[in-house]
Structure 1
């Protein structure tokens, strides 16, 4: 099962301000998962339906707390009091449980649960959000490495608080809405304080003084199925050794003889490029988009192995 997704709100219109019809939650900067708890064990599934249980051994305690529940939530790792997507980077590709356990001991992850899709064998997806939330709250309010996402009824207060605290944003959920697996629904709406876009890597250029290092990535977003639109050249944020190693491991097998972009990439961007199949998804922070779809000052945040290439679209 794929999780239900929120529709980006119009920044000018904002989120609906009606606490009787809508509930408001923090938009967490983490890794979206479904946690399937059954018979004393928990299995964690990413948004792309890939099992990632081995990467988060500290969350096994959830399985011991509840006999049968399917939770929707976000895995976060805290840094200086706020969730850090960057801090998750060391876990994203882990399958070695010993390595994962060592990282968990130093920097543990938390599952922030915000929906219950099954409980004690009963499918709750067709129940309204309000009823699912009440069922979720009947579980213990907190536990070892997991907690419930708080709910608020005043969107303006929450927007201001999340902005002041450096959190990512706010999600509004219609209280009467059913859960639609895999659907991006207007019954859930999100408003981010910081602009983040998932993109595909279509090519890369080496560092000027070290051709073994990535100096810039050529990135794109699907404008239609099979049509990759060039979204710009990104060099900021690539200096970490971990990021360089991950990108080289992922991109080396994907090399192409020609550009995968639908339009001609400007010569200034394409000079010296190595082209690759657009299979690797990364998140970037940016300052907006130009009229031709280029991202302004994109900064690399990390690889999104929880997303499939076809999931990439303009936010």
Structure 2
């Protein structure tokens, strides 16, 4: 079951429970005689995450998130990337990037399907299993503000009376991300595909550091058709034959003089100094590129 994105929490908050939105990989853990771990599309993750072996002693199917924590105890997607594609991680990788499982729902228990049980009852049964499920909070709590202060991704609001509907994105679950806005310098663009074929697929973002213009990621969402048309015209007049960035940039891109400043919203900085989940907001003609620093 998936959540619908929203810019704010629902007004009837007393009907919801709030959970922290963890920045990791979704996984179902099948417990019992032997533990099996599967991803959202049924891929077998059991060998990929051996730390999850032995969770629980009863026959159950648990829904939750696999994360790797940073030194401050916060989930780090950058650290998780060192694990998420390794089928048989070696002991050194296991020591450097150990995973933690954060359960938040219960789908089966001792052979009984729980899909039609309300969320509050599924959570009560999950808590009784004592498998390390983080708590959920009343909808009126200030959890969203608390996650923002702690540098976490946001919250998911779940209707207390909602059933579980696998494979659907339902308004019974609403996710609200903590977004921060900042200026970036446009140093290039990646050609689009499909509906955007012949135009801009994403913009190459940079900020100035003592080393020069430094790559901090691509932004490919948040644009209107009018935005894409305006940017395509502007960038066409700025095109150059070489990268303006001081550090390497992945993928093949079209390069431009770093004269345009834009504003994006994002959730956090990664360990590699990339903007996580950037969303385009607007051009900032009132800003000089040299003013956009790390």
After TM superposition, the score normalised by the length of structure 1 is 0.61
Q: CA deviation at 1:131?
A: 1.5
2:121 to 131, 140, 147: 131
Indicate how the Cα distance of structure 1 residues 55 and 235 shifts in structure 2: closer, same or farther if over 3 A, else same: farther
Secondary structure of the residue aligned to 1:148 is coil
Q: CA deviation at 1:218?
A: 2.7
Could you tell me whether the CA contact under 8 Å between 1:68 and 1:119 is conserved in 2?
yes
Structure 2's unaligned 5+ residue stretches are 181-186, 208-228, 243-250, 254-274, 284-294
Counterpart Cα distance in 2 of 1:185 and 1:84:
27
- What does the per-residue CA deviation read over 1:256-315, in whole Å, with 9 as the maximum and x for residues that have no partner? xxxxxxx9x77578979859xxxxxxx953153459xxxxxxxxxxxxxxxxxxxxxxxx
Q: CA deviation at 1:216?
A: 7.5
Written as runs of structure 1 = structure 2, the 5 A alignment for 1:1-315 is 4-9=1-6, 11=7, 14-38=8-32, 40-62=33-55, 65-79=56-70, 80-97=72-89, 99=90, 101-140=91-130, 142=131, 147-194=132-179, 218=190, 227=195, 230-234=200-204, 284-290=276-282
Could you tell me whether the CA contact under 8 Å between 2:80 and 2:97 is conserved in 1?
no
Secondary structure of the residue aligned to 1:132 is helix
Counterpart Cα distance in 1 of 2:239 and 2:140:
42
Counterpart Cα distance in 1 of 2:105 and 2:21:
14
Q: CA deviation at 1:48?
A: 2.7
User: Counterpart in 1 of 2:257?
Assistant: none
Secondary structure of the residue aligned to 1:182 is coil
Counterpart Cα distance in 2 of 1:16 and 1:52:
34
Highest Rg: 1 or 2? 2
After TM superposition, the score normalised by the length of structure 2 is 0.65
Counterpart Cα distance in 2 of 1:92 and 1:219:
28
Counterpart Cα distance in 1 of 2:84 and 2:59:
26
Counterpart Cα distance in 2 of 1:21 and 1:74:
24
Counterpart Cα distance in 2 of 1:41 and 1:72:
17
User: Counterpart in 2 of 1:306?
Assistant: none
Structure 1's unaligned 5+ residue stretches are 196-214, 238-262, 276-282, 292-315
Indicate how the Cα distance of structure 1 residues 157 and 184 shifts in structure 2: closer, same or farther if over 3 A, else same: same
CA RMSD of aligned residues (A): 3.3
Secondary structure of the residue aligned to 2:35 is strand
Secondary structure of the residue aligned to 2:106 is strand
- What does the per-residue CA deviation read over 1:27-74, in whole Å, with 9 as the maximum and x for residues that have no partner? 111111111224x22221122322222121111121xx3231111100
Counterpart Cα distance in 2 of 1:191 and 1:29:
13
Q: CA deviation at 1:24?
A: 0.5
